[in-house]
Amino acid sequence: MTGLSISSAIRDSEWFTTVFKKLAPMKGPTVQKKRKGKKTMSTNISALNELEGFIGGCLVDSETGLMLASEGGGKIDLEAASALNTQVVKAKLSAMSALKLNDVIEDILITLGKQYHLIRPLASAPTVFIYLALDRKSSNLGLARIKLKSVESNITL
């Protein structure tokens, strides 16, 4: 490899490009991918920004803990929140199994002193969830749950 370092050769390789595109979190108002012979993939969660008290949100694959899309964040590290809330979802599923509850998680609410955290697995793909953080003083929990359900309905994987 004349004139190329090993790292640049790897970075320019087809393998790296394929893997990076799968692992890199998708940011922005609309992220859509057209797959051959399949529906358009949409991970658009930007409508969460419209919520009063919005701090941040992300779309997460709970099998890997990887963030698929994100909005906002501010003081919250959404990468860490993705991985850590994956453990919350897995713990709840484990508890439901141990209790022999034949049901699905609609959403998980965590109420903190200053914030609400909502976790909503997708009905169409239960291993993927939306995580939403809101300022408790300025948000409306009922409206947030309605908006979260609406955003979920527009996600196509």
Average pLDDT, the chain: 82
Give the mean pLDDT of 94-113. 96
Predicted confidence (pLDDT) at residue 32 exceeds the cutoff of 80: no
Q: How far is CA 69 from CA 24, 29, 50, 57, 60, in A?
A: 9, 9, 16, 8, 7
pLDDT tens-digit readout, 113-136: 999 999 999 999 999 999 999 999
Q: What is the DSSP string of 59-119?
A: EEETTTTEEEEEEE-TTS-HHHHHHHHHHHHHHHHHHHHHTT-------EEEE-SSEEEEE
* Secondary structure element (H or E) that encloses residue 26, with its range: strand 26-27
Predicted confidence (pLDDT) at residue 37 exceeds the cutoff of 80: no
pLDDT band at 27 (very low <50, low <70, confident <90, very high): very low
Please report, for the chain, the start and end positions of each structural domain, with discontinuous segments joined by +: 26-153
Please state, in angstroms and rounded to a whole number, the distance separating the CA atoms of residues 15 and 34: 20
Looking at CATH, the fold of the domain delimited by 26-153 is given as Beta-Lactamase (3.30.450)
Give the mean pLDDT of 100-118. 96
